[in-house]
């Protein structure tokens, strides 16, 4: 149940409970102290009267005299009752309304300070003591004496005090609940501010950030983490929308070519050779489009991390050797020497691995000048295998390097449509494949050498 | 050879029928899964080409029913969906191949022929011949009009593929897959270059050119009529 309460209510409830416990505790302690104090007062009063009675009884020369003197001594003391009895039970003196003395367990004759007892006389509660006095002039045996004071006054006071304290406590609790709620509500203000800020974030509007400086330290970390998340999302969104517009652009040109070409050919009678020619050209263009679409799908699937159909352990050397054989003819055409050094194990999908490295090789051969050299280094490391494809050629602008792996990115816009050059997806496919294997790709270019490195992790 | 196509998209179905008929096959076309199954049960087909998404029964259900009623003819799936699970499911059901749309017709044709050629291996001669071109598989030697031609190992493989499938247009992807074992579309001109070099060795200076490029489709090795 507590789980469903809002943070504010929770804090308010806890705060109120603490205040309630404190108020009631304090009240109880207070009442106890006052009660003890009243008892002490009663004891002192009774003690005084005891001495007085002892004095009177020891000086009285007859029962009559004693009764009279006791009556005088006690009459002006309101709420004080006394009873004097002989050992035989004959009453020598009794205050009005104090006829019967409750039976006492034992008379503490010897004790100087007898126990304070609580008696009920009718409705009134009395505090009293019992003691014995030896009065040779009046009786042979000691007299049993009981004196008591009415506690009604004190009781009234205590009731009053109890009531006041209760009212105060209840008021304090209510008030503290209210203050607690206000304080919690105020304390939560930064959270609400963050909520409002978050509510204003949408796909179209990714700029708002959490006010890191304006929130308390406890929440600054959270705000920062949220901001980082928003940064990443914004970047991804940016890339996604660039990608969509790139895609539209990439598709627009070939489709418009196809359409124009087809319509021009259809607009007049032509010989069979022309039709054949156009259809063949259309077929080539359409194949390019088809490949682009399947590349895009492949990329999307790989990036979503759902395509590692087969996982097996194989050796990079063998696969790359096969790839070099594949590229041999193209390399020979450009008099490029292909080299392979080292070997290492890869755990992953063999076909995807080939595809990834194939793109690197094709890219390297394309950018190597005639008579150049492409070398593949395979380096087995403790946590995986690193494959570096190195070629000599003109240096690539360092600012361009990280963008090489972007979809549709072409370092040289002029070369955007050569025969059998891909749509600019090759390196991003390589990146997606390597990342699907838990690895990373990097590119460097210095001293006339360009290196693409793919690191595959071994579990 | 008789092929059954089950495809609900009318244009695709019609073009497939036309293309395969012109390639020399007898073709039946059904537009729903139910019709397809019916035709399969009553015709004597050598191959069934199935679209996955079909009205009535889907492609998988059709194949399943076929297999349950004991029909073991090869089957090939065509689909616009390229999910690994789909592929696995198709192959588990006993499909022989799986083509993802968009595919090129040359690719389809080449694969159809590959499937139909399976199980028909029989006694293959160790010497392949097209016109005056001879390929000796055992001695790994190629001669044209009696003159020996030096080929690299891969060129020999390429030559063998072209000769075994003479008269068939072979798309680049099939060549890359069969000769180099590269089973993915690559954006390079490797095949063009390799074919160009092979052609120089085989056809250069010859009156009759055996290797032809079919634009937009692929390559074919063919002896001109009457040779």
A191-195, A451-455, B14-18: lowest mean pLDDT where? A191-195
pLDDT of the residue at A442: 92
Distance from CA of B48 to the nearest CA of A (A): 24
Higher pLDDT, B225 or A27: A27
Q: What CATH class does A307-457 carry?
A: alpha beta
Cβ density class A56-84: b for 16+ within 10 Å, e for less: bbeebeebeebbebbeebbeeeeebbbbb
Residue B129 pLDDT > 80: yes
Per domain, the residue ranges of chain A are 2-97+112-162, 193-250, 307-457
The CATH number that applies at residue B49 is 3.40.50.2300
pLDDT higher than threshold 60 for residue B184: yes
Residue A433's Cβ-count burial label (10 Å; 0-12, 13-18, 19+) is: buried
User: At A153, is the secondary structure helix, strand, or coil?
Assistant: helix
Cα B74 to its chain centre, rounded Å, is 14
Q: A238 or B18: which carries more pLDDT confidence? A: B18
CA atoms within 13 A on the CB side of B19: 17
The answer to whether the Cβ–Cβ distance between A287 and B82 falls below 8 Å is no
Output helix, strand, coil percentages for chain B, rounded to the nearest 5. 40, 20, 40
Q: What is the DSSP letter of A123?
A: T
Up-side HSE of residue A312: CA atoms within 13 Å toward CB? 10
The answer on B103 and B37 residing in a single domain is yes
The answer on B17 and B70 residing in a single domain is yes
Domain span at B23: 2-117
Beta strands B127-130; B97-100: pairing state? unpaired
In a domain, B40, yes or no: yes
Distance (Å) of CA A86 to CA A83, A263, B125:
10, 143, 150
> What is the predicted pLDDT for the residue at B47?
93
pLDDT at A421: 53
Residue A102 has pLDDT above 60, yes or no: no
In a domain, B196, yes or no: yes
**What pLDDT, in 10s, does the model give residues A249-289?**
888 888 888 998 899 889 989 999 999 888 988 988 888 88
pTM here? 0.64
- Do the interacting molecules here have an ipTM over 0.90? no
Nearest CA distance, B123 vs chain A (angstrom): 31
Q: What is the mean pLDDT of chain A?
A: 83
pLDDT band at A418 (very low <50, low <70, confident <90, very high): very low
Best residue in B178, B186, B192 for a mutation probing chain A (most A CBs within 10 Å): B186
Lowest model confidence (mean pLDDT) among A144-153, A441-450, B18-27, B192-201: A144-153
Residue B213: closest C-alpha in chain A: A280
B102 contacts A290? CB cut-off 8 A: yes
Find the CB nearest A419 among B104, B154, B189. Answer: B189
Q: What is the mean pLDDT of residues A118-138?
A: 77
| Same domain? B13 vs B112 | yes
DSSP string over A48-68: HHHHHHHHHHHH--SHHHHHH
Kindly state whether residues B102 and B178 are assigned to the same domain: no
Number of domains in chain B: 2
CB pairs under 8 A between A and B: 88
- C-alpha distances in Å from residue A445, one per residue of A391, A399, A440, B28: 10, 11, 17, 58
Predicted local confidence at residue A211, as pLDDT: 79
- Establish if B227 belongs to a structural domain: no
Question: What DSSP letter does each residue of B126-173 carry, written as one string?
Answer: SEEEETTEEEETTTTEEEETTEEE---HHHHHHHHHHHHTTTSPBPHH
pLDDT, position A340: 95
* Edge-to-edge strand ranges of the sheet holding B2-6: B26-30, B2-6, B47-51, B75-79, B97-100
Per-residue model confidence (pLDDT) at position B82: 64
Claim to verify: residue B100 and residue B197 sit in the same structural domain: no
pLDDT of A332 strictly over 60: yes
The answer, yes or no, to whether residue A13 has pLDDT greater than 80, is yes
Q: What is the pLDDT confidence band of residue A154, given thresholds at 50, 70 and 90?
A: confident
Query: What DSSP element (H or E) covers B26?
Result: strand B26-30
Of the candidates B59, B119, B121, which has an alpha carbon nearest to the alpha carbon of residue B93? B59
pLDDT digits (tens, 9 = 90+) for A216-238: 888 888 888 888 888 888 887 88
B102 and B176 within one domain? no
Average pLDDT over residues A137-154: 80
CA atoms within 13 A on the CB side of B153: 5
Length, in residues, of chain A: 459
Mean pLDDT calculated for residue range A12-29:
90
Whether the Cβ atoms of residue A12 and residue A177 lie closer than 8 Å to each other: yes
Are A355 and B184 inside 8 Å of each other by CB?
yes
Q: Which residues pair with B130 in a beta bridge?
A: B133
- In the CATH scheme, what architecture does the domain A2-97+112-162 have? 2-Layer Sandwich (3.30)
Torsion sign, CA atoms A260, A263, A265, A268? negative
Last residue of a domain, one of B82, B98, B117: B117
Pick the most confident of A29-33, A393-397, B97-101, B213-217: A29-33
Burial (CB count <10 Å: 0-12, 13-18, 19+), residue A197? middle
Q: What percent of chain A stands above pLDDT 70? A: 91
The conformation of residue B186, written as its DSSP 8-state character, comes to -
Residue B99 forms contact with A (CB below 8 Å): no
Q: Please determine, for residue A100, whether its predicted confidence score (pLDDT) is greater than 60.
A: no
Point out the domain boundary residue: B69, B98, B117. Answer: B117
Assess whether pLDDT exceeds 60 at residue A110: no
Contacts of B98 in chain A (CB under 8 A): none
Domain assignment present for residue B141? The answer is yes
What average pLDDT does range A13-35 have in this prediction?
90
State the pLDDT at residue A336: 93
Tell me, yes or no, whether B112 and B175 share the same domain.
no
Return the higher-pLDDT residue of A320 and A412: A320
Beta strands A124-133 and A117-121 are: antiparallel
pLDDT for residue A357 is more than 90: yes
C-alpha to C-alpha distance for A221 and A226, rounded to whole angstroms:
9
The residue from B89, B117, B145 where one domain ends is B117
Question: In which band, very low, low, confident or very high, does the pLDDT at A342 lie, cut at 50, 70 and 90?
Answer: very high
Lowest-confidence segment of A101-115, B43-57, B112-126, B169-183 by average pLDDT: A101-115
pLDDT at A153 > cutoff 60: yes
pLDDT digits (tens, 9 = 90+) for A284-316: 888 888 888 888 888 887 877 655 667 889 999
Diameter over CA atoms, chain A: 165
Cα–Cα distance, A302 to A307 (Å, whole number):
5
Q: Note the residue count of chain B.
A: 227
**Other CB atoms within 10 Å distance of the CB of residue B53:** 14
Same domain, B20 and B111: yes
Could you tell me if B112 and B144 lie in one domain?
A: no
The answer to the question of residue B151 being in a domain is: yes
Which range of A177-191, A353-367, A414-428 scores highest in mean pLDDT? It is A353-367
Given its phi and psi angles, is residue B195 left (phi above 0), alpha (psi -120 to 50 degrees) or beta? alpha
In the 3-class helix/strand/coil scheme, how is A220-281 assigned residue by residue? Answer: HHHHHHHHHHHHHHHHHHHHHHHHHHHHHHHHHHHHHHHHHHHHHHHCCCCCHHHHHHHHHH
């Amino acid at each position: 149940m507590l789980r469903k309460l809002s943070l504010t209510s929770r804090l308010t409830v806890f705060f109120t409970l603490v205040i309630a416990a404190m108020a009631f505790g304090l009240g109880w302690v207070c009442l106890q102290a006052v009660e003890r104090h009243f008892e002490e007062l009663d004891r002192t009063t009774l003690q005084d009267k005891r001495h007085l009675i002892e004095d009177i009884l020891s000086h009285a020369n007859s029962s009559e005299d004693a009764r009279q003197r006791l009556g005088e001594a006690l009459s002006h003391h309101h709420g004080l009752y006394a009873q004097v009895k002989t050992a035989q039970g004959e009453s020598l003196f009794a205050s009005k309304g104090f006829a019967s003395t409750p039976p006492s367990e034992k008379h503490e004759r010897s004790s100087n300070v007898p126990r304070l007892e609580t008696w009920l006389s009718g409705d009134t509660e009395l505090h009293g003591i019992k003691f014995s006095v030896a009065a040779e002039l009046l009786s042979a045996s000691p007299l049993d004496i009981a004196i008591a004071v009415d506690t009604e006054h004190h009781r009234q006071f205590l009731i009053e005090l109890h009531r006041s304290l209760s009212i105060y406590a209840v008021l304090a609790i209510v008030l503290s609940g209210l203050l607690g709620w206000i304080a919690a509500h105020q304390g939560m203000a930064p959270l609400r501010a963050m909520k409002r800020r978050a509510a204003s974030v949408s796909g179209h509007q990714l700029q708002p950030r959490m006010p890191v400086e304006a929130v308390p330290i406890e929440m600054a970390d959270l705000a920062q983490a949220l901001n980082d998340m928003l940064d990443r999302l914004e970047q991804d969104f940016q890339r996604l929308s660039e990608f969509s517009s790139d895609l539209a652009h990439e598709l627009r040109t070939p489709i418009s070519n196809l359409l124009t070409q087809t319509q021009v050919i259809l607009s007049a009678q032509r010989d069979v050779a022309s039709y054949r020619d156009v259809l063949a050209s259309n077929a080539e263009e359409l194949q390019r489009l088809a490949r682009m679409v399947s590349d895009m799908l492949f990329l999307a699937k790989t990036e979503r991390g759902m395509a590692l159909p087969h996982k097996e352990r194989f050796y990079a050397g063998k696969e790359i050797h096969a790839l070099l054989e594949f590229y041999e003819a193209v390399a020979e055409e450009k008099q490029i020497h292909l080299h392979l050094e080292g070997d290492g194990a890869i755990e992953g999908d063999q076909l995807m691995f080939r595809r990834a490295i194939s793109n690197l090789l094709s890219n390297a051969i394309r950018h190597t000048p005639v008579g150049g050299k492409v070398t593949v280094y395979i380096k087995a490391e403790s946590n995986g295998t690193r494959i570096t494809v190195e070629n000599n050629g003109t240096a690539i602008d360092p600012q361009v390097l990280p963008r090489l792996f972007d979809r549709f990115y072409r370092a040289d816009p002029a070369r955007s449509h050569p025969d059998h050059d891909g749509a600019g997806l090759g390196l991003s496919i390589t990146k997606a494949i390597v990342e699907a294997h838990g690895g990373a790709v990097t590119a460097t270019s210095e001293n006339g050498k360009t290196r693409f490195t793919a690191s595959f992790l071994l579990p | 050879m008789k092929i059954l196509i089950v495809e609900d998209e009318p244009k695709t179905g019609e073009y497939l029928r036309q293309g395969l008929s012109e390639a020399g096959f007898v073709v039946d076309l059904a537009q729903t899964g139910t019709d397809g199954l019916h035709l399969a049960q009553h015709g004597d087909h050598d191959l069934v080409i199935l679209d996955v998404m079909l009205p009535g029964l889907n492609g998988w259900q059709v194949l399943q029913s076929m297999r349950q009623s004991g029909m073991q003819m090869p089957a090939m799936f065509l689909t616009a969906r390229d999910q690994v699970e789909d592929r696995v499911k198709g192959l588990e059901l006993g499909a022989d191949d799986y083509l993802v749309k968009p595919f090129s017709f040359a690719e389809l044709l080449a694969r159809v022929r590959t499937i139909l050629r399976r199980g028909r291996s029989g006694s293959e001669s160790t010497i392949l011949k097209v016109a005056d071109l001879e390929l000796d598989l055992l001695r790994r030697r190629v001669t044209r009009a009696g003159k020996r031609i030096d080929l690299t190992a891969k060129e020999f493989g390429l030559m063998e593929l072209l000769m075994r499938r003479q008269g068939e247009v072979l798309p680049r992807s099939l060549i890359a897959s069969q000769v180099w074992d590269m089973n993915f579309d690559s954006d390079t001109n490797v095949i063009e270059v390799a074919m160009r070099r092979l052609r120089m060795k085989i056809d250069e200076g010859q009156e009759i050119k055996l290797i032809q490029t079919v634009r937009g489709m692929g390559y074919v090795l063919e002896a001109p009529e009457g040779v």
